[in-house]
Structure 1
Amino acid sequence: MLIRYTPGRTGLAEGLRRAARAVLYLPTACRLARDPGYPWLNAGAVRWLDRHLAPAMVGFEWGAGRSTLFFAARVARLTTIEHKEKWRRRVAHLLARRGVGNVTLRFVPPSDDPGRPGLRPALWRELGYEPHKPEFAAYADVILDIAEASLDFVCIDGRARVACSLNSLPLLRPGGFLVLDNSEWEKYAPIFTAAAGWPRLDFENGVWRTTILRRPGGANG
């Protein structure tokens, strides 16, 4: 069960909810403080990824940061998309300082670029999905250069998560997996509709949820 609070709301009940969330979040805060390469994902998901990532894997992620270091240390190649230039520079500096050479870090800011709607998967039409953040169309569509069934994993912890997910699902190999952080939000429901029938793992800590969806097929599918 996740303990929620409403931003801006005050009162005793809301204060108690915030205090409970702070206590539940404390183990994560300690892990983040100890290790700059510990990803800001649910701890159960991090343990699962640590067991299932392999040196030959190729991955893609939206949202640069701690997860970039985590994935880069465990796989062959990683492409990371970031929409904030200041944060991209910070992560680029960190990768260079650590001598990480297997990450392609790309900056794709919000803009009026319409993206490439003609290349989007049929899932968009099947769901009748219309993007809620058109300024991130090019950001979400940047993955469409990649061939179908060629990625081992995709991690989505950035903006326009539904659009990013719909573009990503056909690009995963059988047995490949999509990592969706903050998956408890109702607005991400179209992702689970699109991946109906995919094995699903939910990892919660009382504050937020990280979900891993695995494409059927493959050795462990």
Structure 2
Amino acid sequence: MLIRYTPGATGPAAQLRRAVRAVLYLPTACRMAADSCYPWLNAGAVRFLNRRLTRRMIGFEWGGGRSTVFIARRVLTLVTVEHNAKWRRKTAALLARHCIGNVQSRFLPPGDAPGHPQARPAIWQRLGHVHRRPEFAAYSDAILDFPEDSLDFVIIDGRARVECALNAISRVRPGGFLVLDNSEWEKYAPIFAITAGWTRQDFENGVWRTSILCRPVAAGG
């Protein structure tokens, strides 16, 4: 069960929720305090990544930070896309401090760049989906530089997450997986609809949820 945060809420009930959330968040805060490269994800999802990632893998990440170093240490290559200049600097500093050289970092701040609408997967047209955050068009389309079925995993932990997922599902190879953080938010429900048939694992800590969606391998594959 998740203890929801309601912005701007006041009164005894809101204060109690904040106190309970703080207690539930404490184990994560302690892990992050003890290790500067511990990802800001649910512990179950971190354990999953620790088990599944291998030195042969190629991955893609929206939203850099602690996870970038954690993942890069375990894979062949990682591409990370960031929209925020502050987080870009923090991630670059972490990578330099830990001598990580297998990360390709891209900085794509919000703006007027149209992205690559002509290269978007057919699911956009099939759903009649219109980009809800057009200022992040280039950001969410960055993954389209990769061929279909070419990535072992994709981390979605930045902006325009539905649009990122629409682009990512055809880039994840069969047997690969998506990691969606803050997946309890109702606005991300379309991601679960478009990955119907994928295996889903949810990891919760009472404060937020991280979901991992594994693309099935075709019969005989």
User: Structure 2, unaligned stretches of length 5 or more?
Assistant: none
**1:107-186 to 2 correspondences below 5 Å:** 107-186=107-186
SS in 1 for 2:216: coil
SS in 2 for 1:170: coil
SS in 2 for 1:74: coil
Distance in 2 of aligned mates of 1:31 and 1:218: 38
Show the counterpart of 1:205: 205
Amino acid in the other structure paired with 2:129: Y
May I ask how many residue pairs the two structures share in their alignment?
A: 220
Amino acid in the other structure paired with 2:64: A
Amino acid in the other structure paired with 1:151: L
CA positional deviation for 1:127: 2.0
CA positional deviation for 1:3: 0.5
Amino acid in the other structure paired with 2:48: W
Distance in 1 of aligned mates of 2:76 and 2:163: 26
CA spacing shift, 1:37–1:104, aligned 2, 3 Å: same
Distance in 2 of aligned mates of 1:12 and 1:5: 14
**Conserved? CA contact 1:174–1:217, under 8 Å:** yes
Deviates most, 28-37 or 122-131: 122-131
**Conserved? CA contact 1:127–1:194, under 8 Å:** no
Distance in 1 of aligned mates of 2:134 and 2:59: 25
TM-score (structure 1 length as normaliser)? 0.97
Amino acid in the other structure paired with 1:42: N
Show the counterpart of 1:48: 48
* 4+ long deviations beyond 3 Å: none
**1:32-111 to 2 correspondences below 5 Å:** 32-111=32-111
Amino acid in the other structure paired with 2:90: R
Q: Give the share of equivalent positions with the same residue, in percent.
A: 68
CA RMSD of aligned residues (A): 1.3
**1:11-22 to 2 correspondences below 5 Å:** 11-22=11-22
1:5 aligns with 2:5: yes
1:32-79 per-position Cα deviation (integer Å, ceiling 9, x unaligned): 000011000010000011111111000000001000011001000000
Distance in 2 of aligned mates of 1:99 and 1:5: 37
User: Structure 1, unaligned stretches of length 5 or more?
Assistant: none
Amino acid in the other structure paired with 1:30: C
